[in-house]
């Protein structure tokens, strides 16, 4: 449950009032993708438990993809973003290859340069 700062939204209409602002599906998915799954994966890694690490990766495969500027950019290039596993992969590609201008070391970059 969000704290009061996020839970309520102040509106200025005829009478100032607070409107309850429920947490949405996108926010829940974002928390799963960026908090729960990494913690579960690290837990599995620290306990050398491959089943737990596999479960974390399965959760990414079963969760809707993130929609952000990075994934939208890849979509414009014709690259699919079917689940959170894909969207996290695309974010990693962007930060580890595109942002560092390492196109020749990236399969996607090579494919784009050949076309």
* pLDDT tens digit sequence for 62-75: 999 999 999 999 99
- Specify whether the CB–CB gap between 59 and 65 falls below 8 A: no
* pLDDT tens digit sequence for 36-56: 999 999 999 999 999 999 999
Hey, where are the domains in the chain?
25-64, 65-115
Q: Residues near 103 by Cβ (< 8 Å), separated by ≥ 6? A: 97, 109, 110, 112, 113
Q: Residues near 71 by Cβ (< 8 Å), separated by ≥ 6? A: 65, 81, 87, 90, 91
pTM: 0.74
Q: What are phi and psi of 18, to 5 degrees?
A: -105, 135
Checking if the pLDDT of 10 tops 80, the result is no
3-state secondary structure of 18: strand
């Amino acid at each position: 449950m969000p704290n009061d700062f996020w839970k309520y939204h102040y509106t200025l209409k005829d009478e100032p009032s607070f409107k309850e602002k429920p947490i949405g599906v996108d926010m829940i998915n974002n928390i799963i993708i960026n908090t729960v799954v990494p913690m579960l994966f690290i837990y599995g890694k620290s306990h050398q438990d491959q089943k737990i690490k596999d479960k974390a990766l399965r959760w990414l495969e079963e969760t809707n993809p993130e929609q952000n500027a990075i994934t939208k950019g890849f979509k414009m290039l014709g690259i699919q973003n079917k689940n959170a596993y894909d969207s996290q992969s695309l974010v990693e590609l962007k930060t580890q290859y595109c942002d560092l201008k390492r196109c020749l070391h990236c399969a996607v970059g090579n494919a784009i340069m050949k076309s």
